[in-house]
Amino acid sequence: MISQELLESDYSLFKEYLVSECGIVLGDNKQYLVRSRLLPLLRQFEIDSYTNLISRVVKSRDSSLNNAVIDAMTTNETLWFRDGHPFEVLKADIFPKLQNKRTPVRIWCAACSSGQEPYSIAMSLLEYKTQNASAFSGGVEIIGTDISNNMLDQCRRATYDNLSLSRGLSNERLERFFEPAEVGAKNESRQLKREVTRMVSFRSMNLFDSYAALGSFDLIFCRNVLIYFSIDGKKRILQQIASSLQSGGTLFLGASESLSGISNDFDMNRSGQGIFYVKKQ
């Protein structure tokens, strides 16, 4: 029988583990969240208590269990064209500045979850090219990264059910960029067309690891991510992001996120209702 009790000492130990492994910070009263996220893993790995699960994870005896725990504790909330204005800013301000670049324009979506954000950028690019046929002759490379291998698998499948498709996606875009899913996929699901998926690749990435292997970028989306990290964690991530951006490159954060008191590497810019950050020259 599985014990449903999560001891305070185990909770404290687990909080320390999450911070050290991936920077995620849990408050003092998130025991309910830990219990609900880890309960399926107790059953899956046939562990009889949270105490024993946390002990095994902290001691790193089972890499598959550790990966499953990080996956379970990662927030995977996302939608198409989230908040709207960043994608309007892309078309109005960012794409015109990058469209004549002779080498590939490189775009990174950090913590991309199930892929809606990088694919939204790809769709925005295709829409922009409809009106600007000669734009981006040097090519475009979009990279999505996430710590969750399950999410990355979903990204690569590029198949979404009706609930996912209803969140932020217009009927016009649904008709233009999607087609019926292959036989065997979920009922009433649709798949992104090849013209979209070929623009995006996906990689596993812990934001606390080095970014050097990714190369440098013209544009980085790191939206609704920093809110889950401590001040020191935010500084660490933003320092690496600044190093990964070309001089004058652009950074988008979430609507509730700010660089105030955290990083001096960027200038804030406003375009309409949207805010974005430009790496200082």
Strand 245-252 relative to strand 274-279, pairing? antiparallel
242/266 Cα distance (integer angstroms): 8
State the pLDDT at residue 19: 84
State the pLDDT at residue 40: 86
State the pLDDT at residue 106: 98
Residue boundaries of the structural domains of the chain: 8-73, 85-279
**Model confidence over 177-234: pLDDT tens digits?**
999 887 655 556 899 999 999 999 999 999 989 999 999 999 999 998 888 888 889 9
State the pLDDT at residue 135: 93
Q: Identify the CA nearest to 25 among candidates 197, 152, 208.
A: 208
Mean pLDDT of 75-92: 87
Query: What's the fold here for domain 85-279?
Result: Rossmann fold (3.40.50)
User: With 70 as the cut, is the pLDDT of residue 76 above it?
Assistant: no
State the pLDDT at residue 140: 97
**Model confidence over 40-67: pLDDT tens digits?**
888 888 888 889 888 888 887 677 888 8
Query: What's the fold here for domain 8-73?
Result: Chemotaxis Receptor Methyltransferase Cher; domain 1 (1.10.155)
| Helices marked H in the chain | 8-22, 31-44, 50-58, 63-73, 85-89, 95-98, 116-131, 149-157, 162-165, 171-177, 194-197, 231-244
**Model confidence over 102-134: pLDDT tens digits?**
999 999 999 999 999 999 999 999 999 999 999
Mean pLDDT of 163-188: 83
69/66 Cα distance (integer angstroms): 5
∠229-234-238 over CA atoms, to 5°?
Answer: 145
